[in-house]
Structure 1
Amino acid sequence: MYKKLLLVLLFFNCSAAFAETIRTDVLVIGGGASGVAAAIQSARSKIKTMLVEQGPWLGGSMTSGGMCILEGNRNLASGIYAEFRGHIRDFYKARLGYDTTRNAPLRFEPYTGAAILKRITDTVKNLTVKMNTPFTAIKKDGTGWEVTIIQAGKPVTIKAKLVVDATELGDVTAAAGVLLTSGFDSRADTKEALAPQNATNQIQDISYLTILRDYGRAADRTIAKPEGYEANEYACLKSADIKKMLASAQLPNDKYLIKWSDCGNQYSVTSDDLKPESREATFRKARLRTLGLIYYLQTALGYKNLGLTDDFKTPDHLPYIPFIRENRRSAGVVRMVLDDIYTPYTRGSQLYRTSIAVGDATPGQHYSVAGAPYINYPPFPAYSIPLGAVVVKDQENLLVTEKAMSVTHLVNGSITYPSVQMTLGQGVGATAAYCIFFETTTKNLRPRIIQGEILDFKGMLMPFADIKTTDRDYRAIQQVGATGLLQGIQKPNGNSAQVLFVPDSTVHTAEVKPFLNEIYSRSFLWFNKEKPGELFTIANLLSYISEMTLRDPKNLQDDMQKAWKTYYKFTTDFNANRAVTRREFAVLANRFFNPFARKVDISGRLVN
């Protein structure tokens, strides 16, 4: 009897122990903008995926942190970010005054954004989401990882083949022992002309943002005086146009996002202040800074009708997390520098060829401490984010997003913007799925296959603002653009610069000849024989296609003339003697000699 009882107890103890270990292919730690997109894409690529988030909401800084006015990537909305943006606009479009123009900044209430992300993840097969689940430890397990989380107050082990660190502060990367740097890089280190001579430990300020609501002229929503309040800390606001500042920060339902610089709600930190042992004290001081701003606004400036909302279920009604712009950056397989943005086509490494996402946010420079270097950026172009910047150099099967990416300080100011990170997350999810599907590791990545998966799900590789994802030739233009055969054209506008494909402009021989000669051995002979003029004609292109594919020239031209408007849907008339447009060139090149099929390595070099 006792032996049977002992066997039963032993069986249940073994079952309980077994239940404490969870297995998944991809584990995404952190449910912020990048993490939720990475998890969605990985699962949609038919890979068993788990997402763990320590807080109550998905969305990270753009929901839990209150950063709910998104200007970045509004001209480049694609894939999962376009899906999220569409759901937000559909939710609010019936509201009077809500701006639904195609590239308007996206405005939403934080809990609405979080609810929409949850609704999306609830519909994704192969995806398990665990909320209110902190990560506590990580260690190597062969080529995969063993991760400890806290679930229902107890430690649980997750064995994952690949881990994505999508935490706000790069905590997983730090715990895995990855080399990390922070602050301004020196010019000697990065070779960036705009970098300061000497490195510093200074990083951008953090901010506890806040959502205020107008409760009516007669209302008095004044909060209690915060601990340590000093009115003179906010005195620069006396000369500010508060009404204009509020108007630019308006949200639906008479609410306002307060994200003010100078003497507003920024709080100066270094990376040491954001270490786990220092965070509680740092965040408490940053919260008091924001509460002081609210109190000053209500008392010294007379806006007592503006009061805190109950959007966040915290004791002081401030967001669950601060808006963190920067922390420590990992050592990746490649490091993205400013020249990869300003002059991507003329560098030794052609990192744009490995792009997994795009961005167009203008770099922030949020420093309230005196003496921080100010960088006079020329008009900042839209850019591609290279695959190698999310791949940790010395650890297999660990990908990084958010603030831990392998970029320089001067690039970081743009790339950590929430909507850029959501766009990036899709590329990271496709990369994770590639490793699992092909049973390989991050040491053996093939950029073109990963990029193909991103394009399958309407993601974007090249930041062409004039080619929408709904364009009939979108994929062909993206693929040809990712080879460098037809390069993007920067168009400055104020402090930024769009990158355009200009599909109706004509192709110059000088722009396509170098690349064609680089990738095809017979190209050199063709150019010497045909000697095309300054403008590359349709006849030139058909002759080149005939040379590369061994098609009969007369039959090719006859077939092309018949299919010009019916199959290819070109709007121009077929005339072999006129200059070919960039759209026509991209479509036909992609179809007949497919330069995108040429393999590239993780630095963008062509592989034979």
Structure 2
Amino acid sequence: MCNVFTGKFFLIVALFSFQARFAAAQQYDVIILGGGASGTTAGIQASRMGAKTLIVEETEWLGGMLTAAGVSAIDGNHNLPSGLWNEFREALYNYYGGPAAVETGWVSNTLFEPSVGNKILKKLADEKQLTILHKAKCTGVNKKAGLWEVTVFQNKKTRTYTSKIIIDATELGDVAALLGVKYNIGMDSRHETNEFIAPEKANHFIQDVTYVATLKDYGKNADKTIPKPQGYNEAAFANACDIADPLHYENPNSNCHRMMEYGKLPNNKYMINWPRDGNDIYMNVIDSSAAARAREYEKAKLHTLRFVYFIQTKLGYKHLGLADDEFPTKDKLPMFPYFRESRRIQGLVRLTLNDMLEPFSQKTALYRTGIAVGDYPLDHHSNENKDAPKIDFIKVKIPSYNVPLGSLIPKDVDGLIVAEKSISVTNIVNGATRLQPVVLLIGQAAGSLAAISAMQNVEPKQVPVRAVQKALLASKAYLMPYIDVKPQDKYFDAIQRVGATGILKGYGVPYNWANQTWFYPERPISEYELLQGLRTYYPILDGFQGSGRALTAGYAWQAFSKIDSTLTEDKFSLMWKNISGEKTYSATAAVNRGLAAAMIDACLHPFDIPVDMNGIPLK
């Protein structure tokens, strides 16, 4: 956590040591406070784009919730291999020996040992323009003459670093709060967000926290039973073996062995992160002091140790003990708990449930500004808070979705970008955007935005949406969550660009634990569908006629030439042959959705028309 002073005349003796005040500050383009999931990917992306970047991380690991908090089972995005999330997963495949080697537990398609995740992220972060300070504590942030001054305590020394842009990638949004950014905590009122399932009145209840444990199989004859923890009560874990799927089943389904296989990791280790009478615990330390947080963390640790003792004694897994080769801690537990929820800033835009349910029918068009994709349901953990309203969010059926750029940018503080789980979304939406792949991609987008902002010397809110999206596409990241168009596909970039205009729309399908949006590139498209989409950007077509007939190349040219009078049929035919791969051009050739997107992209370049943070074209 940082101490923050933004006025001109505050006493700074407590903030800076004598040495730091008079030493020349080391200069960076971007400073990232927090080397968690989003902070790591933000640093990699910004540095790859040429920005001199610094990550300040309090632990000796990278990865945050994926590694240092022990949540090493990926939730969602298995079929959306976007950007740095995909690079991380491919590195896991290479390390363990392929996809099957990491499908060890039934909760996820990708499970790994936390220490391995840390090693892989450190390797990915080995970039020339990226510096990482481990075991370093930010002790102050001050803005002076348009630059951020960040003071850092490391190895018993205090140093000052400056940058044009800072990214708050802390677990709980601490930097944004101390800089005066307005934020929300807890559940929103339906009257404020217009979300039908939100509670009548707002409250400060957040999701449960979990102090994860990693257990290791020491062999069938081993006895790794820990001392009986203080306050242990077997009855507290009475329903721990209930593995009923909340998406489909109402009745308990007891299977203790299968419960243990939930988070089985490679090399006979087990992630203990179990919600039902397991080690979830309710606490809200978001606005607490560091000392108060530490006290609550000890309570969370104790609760997890009680569950571990239950597993070892009542369930008979005494050969499973706390892994001695994972976390660099005395107690063999992770460095900090798994926070599912943090502050949520008031950003330039806010993503709501309605934007997820019906992205193409809102007054705004936030989908056009997408910078990260996700497919997980609205998964809220709130069983341990007996006072919280009991709302079954997970059964609200949403398709896959994207996260808008403006949700990373605070309304009221310049030079700051917010990542991790503190972006501008509603409490309900946070149940989906909090998951690991989405947070990794949010970090990558934050890094892109920061690099452009710093190198062009403009505020983040002034960076064109399309500039950030182009940088992400160049990194093989998704803008739109199309399950059936992969980065290696011929028309991937064109379909992503045209999809982000809304001229051709995808079809959302809620589907179990991996929601979907389909583009259907092979499906035929009608003249009418093409015209309806083009008219949203090109009103000149309002008088142009189209029917329900299947689209042909000749009709596409006629429509396009109404928009661009310089597009002759000869020019069009050359582009057609180049894009379609056909040797000859025929005006009667059928056009499917994929080819239509590629031709729209090549002939009209609608993605180059700027949009504002709400996705409204700037014409």
Q: Could you tell me the TM-score, scaled by structure 2's length?
A: 0.90
| Residue 9 of structure 1: aligned partner | none
SS in 2 for 1:64: coil
Change in 2 beyond 3 A, CA 1:26/1:571: same
Distance in 2, Cα, partners of 1:64 & 1:252? 17
Contact 1:54 1:134 in 2 (8 A): yes
Distance in 2, Cα, partners of 1:475 & 1:16? 47
| Residue 588 of structure 1: aligned partner | 599
Contact 1:356 1:428 in 2 (8 A): no
Aligned counterpart in structure 2 of residue 35 of structure 1, from 28, 39, 50: 39
| Residue 332 of structure 1: aligned partner | 347
The one-character-per-residue Cα deviations of 1:557-588 (angstroms, maximum 9, x if unpaired) are: 65356x2xxx3245899653355211110111
Contact 1:182 1:271 in 2 (8 A): no
| Residue 361 of structure 1: aligned partner | 376
| 2:399 is equivalent to residue 385 of structure 1 | no
Distance in 2, Cα, partners of 1:606 & 1:16? 47
| 2:346 is equivalent to residue 321 of structure 1 | no
Change in 2 beyond 3 A, CA 1:37/1:607: same
Distance in 2, Cα, partners of 1:30 & 1:560? 47
Look up the equivalent residue of 1:582 and give its one-letter code. R
Q: Which moved more, 1:262-271 or 1:472-481?
A: 262-271
Look up the equivalent residue of 1:389 and give its one-letter code. S
Distance in 2, Cα, partners of 1:595 & 1:140? 39
Look up the equivalent residue of 1:393 and give its one-letter code. K
Change in 2 beyond 3 A, CA 1:47/1:272: closer
Distance in 1, Cα, partners of 2:144 & 2:109? 44
Aligned counterpart in structure 1 of residue 231 of structure 2, from 224, 228, 231: 228
| Residue 132 of structure 1: aligned partner | 135
Look up the equivalent residue of 1:350 and give its one-letter code. A
Q: Could you tell me the TM-score, scaled by structure 1's length?
A: 0.91
SS in 2 for 1:76: coil
Q: How does 1:418-437 map to 2 (within 5 A)?
A: 418-437=436-455
Change in 2 beyond 3 A, CA 1:405/1:244: same
Change in 2 beyond 3 A, CA 1:212/1:458: same
SS in 2 for 1:519: coil
| 2:558 is equivalent to residue 543 of structure 1 | yes
Cα displacement (A) at 1:276: 3.0
SS in 2 for 1:568: helix
The one-character-per-residue Cα deviations of 1:531-566 (angstroms, maximum 9, x if unpaired) are: 4444433221121223333357552465356x2xxx
Percent identical pairs in the alignment equals: 37
Look up the equivalent residue of 2:135 and give its one-letter code. N
Contact 2:351 2:425 in 1 (8 A): yes
Look up the equivalent residue of 2:358 and give its one-letter code. T
Cα displacement (A) at 1:236: 2.1
Aligned counterpart in structure 2 of residue 458 of structure 1, from 464, 476, 500: 476
Contact 2:285 2:292 in 1 (8 A): no
SS in 2 for 1:333: coil
Q: How does 1:265-280 map to 2 (within 5 A)?
A: 265-271=279-285, 274-280=288-294
Look up the equivalent residue of 2:611 and give its one-letter code. V
CA RMSD of aligned residues (A): 2.3
SS in 1 for 2:481: coil
Q: How does 1:299-310 map to 2 (within 5 A)?
A: 299-310=313-324
Look up the equivalent residue of 1:597 and give its one-letter code. D
Distance in 2, Cα, partners of 1:33 & 1:573? 50
| 2:181 is equivalent to residue 201 of structure 1 | no
Look up the equivalent residue of 1:432 and give its one-letter code. A
The one-character-per-residue Cα deviations of 1:41-91 (angstroms, maximum 9, x if unpaired) are: 111110111111011100000000011110321111221111111111100
Distance in 2, Cα, partners of 1:21 & 1:547? 58
Distance in 1, Cα, partners of 2:381 & 2:19? 53
Distance in 1, Cα, partners of 2:451 & 2:615? 21
SS in 2 for 1:522: helix
Distance in 1, Cα, partners of 2:513 & 2:112? 26
Change in 2 beyond 3 A, CA 1:424/1:523: same
Contact 2:286 2:342 in 1 (8 A): no
Cα displacement (A) at 1:155: 2.5
| 2:124 is equivalent to residue 108 of structure 1 | no
Change in 2 beyond 3 A, CA 1:115/1:558: closer
Q: How does 1:80-159 map to 2 (within 5 A)?
A: 80-93=84-97, 97-99=101-103, 105-122=109-126, 124-159=127-162
Aligned counterpart in structure 2 of residue 289 of structure 1, from 300, 303, 314: 303
Contact 2:84 2:440 in 1 (8 A): yes
Distance in 1, Cα, partners of 2:283 & 2:103? 36
Cα displacement (A) at 1:306: 1.1
Q: Which moved more, 1:403-412 or 1:503-512?
A: 503-512
Aligned counterpart in structure 2 of residue 374 of structure 1, from 369, 373, 391: 391
Q: How does 1:525-540 map to 2 (within 5 A)?
A: 525=543, 527-528=544-545, 531-540=546-555
Cα displacement (A) at 1:595: 0.8
Distance in 2, Cα, partners of 1:594 & 1:96? 41
Change in 2 beyond 3 A, CA 1:238/1:546: closer
| Residue 61 of structure 1: aligned partner | 65
Distance in 2, Cα, partners of 1:496 & 1:97? 21
Distance in 2, Cα, partners of 1:434 & 1:64? 30
Q: Which moved more, 1:511-520 or 1:316-325?
A: 511-520
Look up the equivalent residue of 1:336 and give its one-letter code. L
SS in 1 for 2:197: coil
| Residue 488 of structure 1: aligned partner | 506
SS in 2 for 1:584: helix
Distance in 1, Cα, partners of 2:285 & 2:227? 31
Contact 1:73 1:361 in 2 (8 A): yes
Change in 2 beyond 3 A, CA 1:339/1:14: closer
SS in 1 for 2:143: strand
Contact 1:271 1:328 in 2 (8 A): no
Change in 2 beyond 3 A, CA 1:24/1:558: closer
Aligned counterpart in structure 2 of residue 555 of structure 1, from 566, 570, 573: 570
| 2:55 is equivalent to residue 51 of structure 1 | yes
Q: Which moved more, 1:423-432 or 1:358-367?
A: 358-367
Contact 1:542 1:556 in 2 (8 A): no
The one-character-per-residue Cα deviations of 1:221-264 (angstroms, maximum 9, x if unpaired) are: 10111122222222223664121112232111111111111210
Look up the equivalent residue of 2:192 and give its one-letter code. D
Cα displacement (A) at 1:218: 1.4
Aligned counterpart in structure 1 of residue 186 of structure 2, from 162, 183, 186: 183
Cα displacement (A) at 1:116: 0.9
Look up the equivalent residue of 1:399 and give its one-letter code. I
The one-character-per-residue Cα deviations of 1:314-335 (angstroms, maximum 9, x if unpaired) are: 2221111111100221111111
Cα displacement (A) at 1:479: 0.3
Distance in 2, Cα, partners of 1:557 & 1:152? 64
The one-character-per-residue Cα deviations of 1:424-459 (angstroms, maximum 9, x if unpaired) are: 111111101111122111231210111111111111
Distance in 2, Cα, partners of 1:111 & 1:97? 16
Q: How many residues get paired?
A: 586
Distance in 2, Cα, partners of 1:374 & 1:276? 31
Distance in 2, Cα, partners of 1:47 & 1:339? 36
Contact 2:137 2:152 in 1 (8 A): yes
Cα displacement (A) at 1:275: 4.5
Q: Which moved more, 1:266-275 or 1:34-43?
A: 266-275
Change in 2 beyond 3 A, CA 1:554/1:169: closer
The one-character-per-residue Cα deviations of 1:83-107 (angstroms, maximum 9, x if unpaired) are: 111111100017985449xx97211
The one-character-per-residue Cα deviations of 1:152-182 (angstroms, maximum 9, x if unpaired) are: 1232222111000000111111111111211
Distance in 2, Cα, partners of 1:410 & 1:16? 44
Distance in 2, Cα, partners of 1:559 & 1:160? 48
The one-character-per-residue Cα deviations of 1:168-206 (angstroms, maximum 9, x if unpaired) are: 111111111111211110001111111111111110011
Contact 2:37 2:64 in 1 (8 A): yes
